[in-house]
């Protein structure tokens, strides 16, 4: 069970920060919510969750570093980790920084859309880099599990950024690019489940996602390049009327889908 005496504060009350706030309160734990524009009073927090856009999170840590309680754990929960972890490493601090990323979300933002149930069945990714950070991560497992997370995964910031570039960022880019075709507004009556699935994440917050893409460009660029190669293979097979090449590529994708399905059982 999570410690009931731990003092928790959350900076940033959007979708993720608001959902942490509501989930923690629902468990009967004391938590203070601080909007990004509020006066900052975090001096007594044992666990401080920073739920801001990456650039704002870095600036917040630099500005309020000395106001954080010695010995506290500061958990950042934005969608890129290498840049945040590097920025935290460069600070002179007497508290422990822990990179984190809850694998949960919606197509909408804001506190009004946040939910105590947002994390049910999700993964919580943590990126400890030192013995101290690893101990902090392990000590927080019961806390995250109490909020509904199905698993807590420990990895490196670099591995996190690579995997999220593939499982999240590329999906948003593809969906957005797909939507920007001249046929999109003519699709009424012609679109079914495939169209809905592919367009679901096609309208991300431009400011936030530009920041995420640029910060994670080292991981994202090669993934985009590999995708473009596979798309080019399809185009080549189509242009040449190469049925065997087309079937081979489709079989490869079908096999991968089968493997993914078997992993979930």
Residue 125's beta-bridge partner residues?
Answer: 101, 153
The whole-number average pLDDT for the span 41-51 is 91
- Continuous segment of H or E residues that includes residue 80: none
The CA R_g of the chain, rounded to the nearest whole Å, is: 21
d(CA 127, CA 123): 13
Distances in Å between the Cα of 110 and the Cα atoms of 89, 113, 121, 124, 127 are 30, 6, 21, 20, 26
Helix, strand, or coil here: 14? coil
Of the two residues 39 and 150, the one the predictor is more confident about is 150
118 contacts 23 by C-beta, under 8 angstroms: yes
**Average predicted confidence (pLDDT) for the chain:** 94
Q: What is the pTM of this model?
A: 0.91
SS3 of residue 139 by DSSP: helix
Q: Can you give the pLDDT at residue 263? A: 87
Q: Catalogue all structural domains in the chain, each as residue range(s) with its CATH number.
A: 8-155 (3.40.50.720), 160-264 (1.10.3660.10)
- The whole-angstrom separation of Cα 174 and Cα 169 is 9
Q: Residue 1: what pLDDT?
A: 44
The mean pLDDT value for 99-123 works out to: 94
Q: Which residues contact 124 (CB under 8 A, 6 or more apart)?
A: 100, 101, 102, 103, 144, 149, 151, 152, 153
Encode 36-50: b = buried (16+ Cβ within 10 Å), e = exposed: beeeeebeebebbbb
pLDDT value at residue 2: 58
Give the torsion sign (CA, 43, 208, 109, 28).
Answer: negative
**What pLDDT, on a 0 to 100 scale, did the predictor assign at position 265?**
64
- 3-state DSSP call for residue 101? strand
């Amino acid at each position: 069970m999570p410690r009931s005496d731990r003092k928790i504060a959350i900076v940033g009350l959007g979708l993720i920060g608001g959902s942490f706030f509501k989930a923690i309160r629902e468990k009967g734990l004391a938590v203070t919510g601080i909007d990004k524009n509020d006066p900052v009073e975090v001096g007594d927090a044992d666990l401080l969750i920073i739920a801001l856009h990456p650039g704002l999170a870095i600036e917040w840590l630099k500005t309020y570093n000395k106001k954080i309680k010695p010995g506290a754990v500061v958990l950042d929960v934005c969608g890129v980790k290498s840049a945040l972890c590097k920025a935290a490493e460069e600070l002179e601090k007497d508290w422990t920084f822990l990179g984190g990323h809850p694998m949960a979300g919606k197509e909408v933002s804001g506190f009004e859309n946040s939910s105590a149930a947002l994390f049910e069945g999700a993964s919580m990714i943590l990126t400890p880099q030192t013995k101290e950070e690893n101990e902090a991560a392990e000590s927080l497992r019961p806390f995250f599990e109490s909020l509904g997370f199905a698993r807590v995964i420990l990895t490196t910031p670099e591995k996190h950024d690579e995997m999220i570039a593939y499982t999240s960022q590329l999906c948003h880019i593809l969906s957005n690019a797909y939507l920007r075709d001249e046929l999109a507004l003519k699709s009424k009556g012609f679109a079914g489940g495939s169209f809905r699935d592919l367009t679901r994440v096609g309208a991300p917050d431009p400011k936030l996602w530009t920041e995420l893409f640029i910060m994670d460009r080292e991981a994202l660029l090669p993934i985009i390049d590999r995708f473009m190669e596979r798309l080019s293979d399809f185009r080549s097979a189509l242009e040449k009327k190469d049925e065997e090449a087309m079937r081979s590529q489709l079989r490869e994708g079908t096999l991968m889908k089968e493997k993914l399905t078997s992993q979930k059982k």
